[in-house]
Structure 1
Amino acid sequence: MSDVSSWKRLAVEYAEAAKRAPGLRARFEAADFDPAALASLEDLTRLPVLKKETLVALQRANPPFGGFLAADPLSLARIYVSPGPIFEPSLADGGAHNLDMLFRAAGTGPGDIVLNTWSYHLVPAGLLFDAAARAVGATVVPGGVGNSELQAQVLAELGATAIVASTAFFITLADAVIARYGREAWRVRTAFLGGEMGDWAARRRHIEAAYGVTTWAAYATADLGLVAYEDGRGEGYAVHPDCIVQICDPATGLPMAPGTTGEVVVTTRSANWPMIRFGTGDSAFALEAGPDGSVTRLSMLQGRVGAAVKVREIFVYPRVVEELVIATPGVAAAQATARRREGREVIDLGLVLEQGADAAAVKASALETFKTLARVRADAAAIIASLPENAPLLLNEKDG
């Protein structure tokens, strides 16, 4: 987005949005930032990065959207609730957030039957992938999460040709179909998989060889929609044309040298939900940049730079553990630890009991409460004697 007319248009839209969104206006005023004077990426970079954790706090202080919604509330089609919690508005014309670009790149379209195993409840993933598949003319089976035996039967009996899933759930379903119905019942040829940190490319190559599929991935968040996607034309992700992506120093918010890993900072051109210089908390590096310095091709994600930990595609925040202690009778203190076990991302709870508390009842209650608060299931809960003073609420050992 290096042409002058595009920046002028964005300047007008952001200035108008600030009139309708008091939270956005306050952010501009605090930074002495005049949106109407916006004329280049350098101008935009003068605005401090808005961290995801800050957005959570702003929404808590001024619910539900922290004063950042510039659209008419009557125009909202849905309100998504992501862990944090963060409320994300979806406009009536929001559609698939352009995720259909990923399906088109993969060649998915009319005649394909797509099993979508992402959640359709509260979080946007299920509905967004559903809309994307429908936008390219494919038929969708809204599977949602869980029910692996039934979903394996669906794959076999419907002859589904594509699947949207996490890598772990994809392998579970594929193995179930082949074991129960035979290799000939496995007709999936395209797999849209949830991205992972680490040796993600090697794992995908193994999946492709073992199950006879091509794998595709995108980088999208609930706050921003589609940021970047695989287009089959090179390494990493092509940045969506409606996003301005920068790689910035997590501490200063200033752009980093090409090829250097830093925080992915995204600006969307939507004036209705203006996420401007939004710090995703994800780290990556630029593979290609445009004339103005903005990223045009993004590397695979390298990890997290903030306090949140990503577990099975869900961000878990330290606040969840804090609220778990408050909400669970018999728990005096708690700590959650994300780790890898047998090649799978898991999260375990360590619970310190109050005197006289029933251990079995507390563990069962804590597991259920954690699932409600975090929107992801904890894999185990253990009773521990104590925790050090000021011990972190959330540990990440899976990337170490």
Structure 2
Amino acid sequence: MTTSPRSNRFAALQRIQTDAYRQAPAIRAIFERAAIEPANLHGASDLARLPVTTKDQLLALQRAHPPFGGFLAADERDIRRIFVSPGPIYEPEFSSDVSGRGFAQVFRQAGIGPGDRVLNTWSYHLVPAGLLLDQGIASTGATVIPCGPGGAEQQAQLILELGITCICASTSFFITLTETLERMGCELPRDWRVKNAMLGGEMGNWMQKRRDLEQRYAIDTFSAYATGDFGLIGYEEDGLEGYRIHPERMVQVCDPVSGEPLPIGSTGEIVVTTLESGWPLIRFGTGDVAQALSQADDGLVDRIGLLQGRVGQGVKVREVFVYPRNIEEVLSRVPALSRVQLVVEAQGHRETMTLRAELKPTGIPADVEDHLMDSFKQVTRLKLDNIEWLEIGQLAEGDPTLVDRKHAKA
């Protein structure tokens, strides 16, 4: 259980939403639709009475009532920047923000501070990523080198000549930088001062890729879960799986269809309420899917697993959603497999799952089957019905990992 400051969050939420109810027509409409008022928000069950607002709904409201769709609860003179995320969706940043919308927590947690020189390769153009990271880094006392993406050769030179100690990049661009340095004749890690890297998440066996990079380049890696709508939502803690939720983000993991909060251990859509005034999104559906791992003392989720995918990518099987990342995790747990594809079908009134699997040349089905069945159940909480062993090459590189044939005609 988590204690203060999370234990007082609903009192803070009442204050913020009471102010927003007066200033922001879209917020007032959300409460009126649920027939409650901000003063009624005493706990997680009260919050769950409000409808989930989707990104598509926010976009539609911003088109109908530009630029902020009725969600702004601040004086426009307090806006320092307006970010433009794909859609386009407009997100205000306020002059009062000194932490990069929470990103300072990420870098402090990773031990970044005075004396560090951080290469920031995230975009500074329109979207919030580059500037929010920049502000979070600077707030720790570290020095920022604001590069943005691209120009690997120039950035590789900066890494050497400026004595960069931390790199912020997508995982793929970080690998591009290391390969560029090695082509230049550098012997890593001997020839650089980099000690850690903040890497962007990827689907597939991303954690293993990070471990491989850590071992090869003698660095530590860290990551965060963030969106343009909120800034930071969760950050990594040493030794713990997934992301710890920032105290100013109130998270529920919900059924993607009904919006009802799910119990700990379940996988569903990440629904976020912020305790930041000015842009006070409440019960906002991120569209991202993850597992709820633990709960705070106020009934809200305080740790989530790695992202499983997006709402709409999942297939509901026997009342449980299965996502492409689940299948990729199964693949990572059984090294003898080279490719897999899960096919979900309806046979009468029962939904069945068949895992189509290719073995590596040295693999033997009898040696793998029990481990595969057990791994599938651990990852999905469902029992696999069949395994169909395929010849190498029957599954192509671009074939989908998860196929829904429940409604296919016979």
Coarse TM-score class (shorter-chain normalised):
0.7 to 0.9
Q: Secondary structure of the equivalent of 2:207?
A: helix
Alpha-carbon distance, 1:179 to partner: 2.2
Letter in 2 for 1:53: D
Match of 1:131 among 111, 135, 142: 135
Q: Show the counterpart of 2:71.
A: 68
Residue 207 in structure 1 maps to residue 213 in structure 2: yes
Alpha-carbon distance, 1:209 to partner: 1.5
Residue 45 in structure 1 maps to residue 41 in structure 2: no
Residue 28 in structure 1 maps to residue 31 in structure 2: yes
Question: Quick one: structure 1 residues 209 and 399, their matched pair in 2 at CA, closer, same or farther if it must change by over 3 Å?
Answer: farther
Alpha-carbon distance, 1:198 to partner: 2.8
Task: Give distance in 2, aligned partners of 1:99 and 1:163.
Answer: 15
**Which structure 2 residues correspond to residues 228-377 of structure 1 after superposition, within 5 A?**
228-306=234-312
Q: Show the counterpart of 1:179.
A: 183
Match of 1:91 among 83, 91, 94: 94
Alpha-carbon distance, 1:291 to partner: 2.8
Alpha-carbon distance, 1:8 to partner: 3.1
Alpha-carbon distance, 1:399 to partner: 5.8
Q: Secondary structure of the equivalent of 1:14?
A: helix
Which 10-residue stretch deviates more, 130-139 or 2-11? Answer: 2-11
State the percentage of identical aligned residues.
52
1:7-42 CA-to-partner distances (Å, cap 9, x unmatched) read: 233213212211111121122212223112211111
Task: Give distance in 2, aligned partners of 1:110 and 1:163.
Answer: 15
For the 8 Å contact 2:118–2:142, the answer to whether it is kept is yes
Residue 217 in structure 1 maps to residue 223 in structure 2: yes
Q: Secondary structure of the equivalent of 1:50?
A: coil
Q: Secondary structure of the equivalent of 1:193?
A: strand
Question: Quick one: structure 1 residues 397 and 56, their matched pair in 2 at CA, closer, same or farther if it must change by over 3 Å?
Answer: farther
1:66-96 CA-to-partner distances (Å, cap 9, x unmatched) read: 0000000000000000001110000001231
Q: Show the counterpart of 1:158.
A: 162
Q: Secondary structure of the equivalent of 1:245?
A: strand
Question: Quick one: structure 1 residues 301 and 180, their matched pair in 2 at CA, closer, same or farther if it must change by over 3 Å?
Answer: same
Task: Give distance in 1, aligned partners of 2:119 and 2:102.
Answer: 19
Letter in 1 for 2:110: A
The two structures have a TM-score, normalised by structure 2, of 0.73
For the 8 Å contact 1:108–1:138, the answer to whether it is kept is yes
Q: Show the counterpart of 1:12.
A: 15
Letter in 1 for 2:124: Y
For the 8 Å contact 1:102–1:231, the answer to whether it is kept is no
Alpha-carbon distance, 1:64 to partner: 0.5
Task: Give distance in 2, aligned partners of 1:13 and 1:157.
Answer: 47
1:351-393 CA-to-partner distances (Å, cap 9, x unmatched) read: xxxxxxxxxxxxxxxxxxxxxxxxxxxxxxxxxxxxxxxxxxx
Alpha-carbon distance, 1:127 to partner: 0.6
The two structures have a TM-score, normalised by structure 1, of 0.75
1:44-71 CA-to-partner distances (Å, cap 9, x unmatched) read: 1000111111111111111110000000
For the 8 Å contact 1:174–1:186, the answer to whether it is kept is no
Q: Show the counterpart of 2:376.
A: none
Task: Give distance in 1, aligned partners of 2:203 and 2:196.
Answer: 21
Q: Show the counterpart of 1:227.
A: 233
For the 8 Å contact 1:289–1:297, the answer to whether it is kept is yes
Task: Give distance in 2, aligned partners of 1:114 and 1:89.
Answer: 25
Alpha-carbon distance, 1:233 to partner: 4.2
Task: Give distance in 2, aligned partners of 1:25 and 1:294.
Answer: 23
Alpha-carbon distance, 1:397 to partner: 6.7
Residue 167 in structure 1 maps to residue 171 in structure 2: yes
Q: Secondary structure of the equivalent of 1:54?
A: helix
Q: Secondary structure of the equivalent of 2:184?
A: helix
Which 10-residue stretch deviates more, 243-252 or 102-111? Answer: 102-111
Question: Quick one: structure 1 residues 209 and 302, their matched pair in 2 at CA, closer, same or farther if it must change by over 3 Å?
Answer: same
Task: Give distance in 1, aligned partners of 2:312 and 2:37.
Answer: 28
Which 10-residue stretch deviates more, 111-120 or 290-299? Answer: 290-299
Letter in 1 for 2:192: W
Which 10-residue stretch deviates more, 58-67 or 287-296? Answer: 287-296
Which 10-residue stretch deviates more, 184-193 or 7-16? Answer: 7-16
Q: Show the counterpart of 1:325.
A: none
Question: Quick one: structure 1 residues 156 and 6, their matched pair in 2 at CA, closer, same or farther if it must change by over 3 Å?
Answer: closer
Letter in 2 for 1:137: G
Alpha-carbon distance, 1:4 to partner: 7.6
Q: Secondary structure of the equivalent of 1:215?
A: strand
Q: Secondary structure of the equivalent of 1:285?
A: strand
Alpha-carbon distance, 1:98 to partner: 1.6
Matched positions, count: 313
Gaps of 5+ in 2: 314-397, 403-410
**Which structure 2 residues correspond to residues 86-125 of structure 1 after superposition, within 5 A?**
86-95=89-98, 96-125=100-129
Question: Quick one: structure 1 residues 257 and 216, their matched pair in 2 at CA, closer, same or farther if it must change by over 3 Å?
Answer: same
Alpha-carbon distance, 1:306 to partner: 4.5
Task: Give distance in 1, aligned partners of 2:221 and 2:93.
Answer: 28
Q: Secondary structure of the equivalent of 2:299?
A: coil
Letter in 1 for 2:39: A
Task: Give distance in 1, aligned partners of 2:278 and 2:109.
Answer: 28
Letter in 2 for 1:128: L
Task: Give distance in 2, aligned partners of 1:197 and 1:114.
Answer: 25
Question: Quick one: structure 1 residues 22 and 397, their matched pair in 2 at CA, closer, same or farther if it must change by over 3 Å?
Answer: farther
| Runs of 4+ residues deviating >3 angstroms | 1-6, 396-400
Which 10-residue stretch deviates more, 58-67 or 177-186? Answer: 177-186
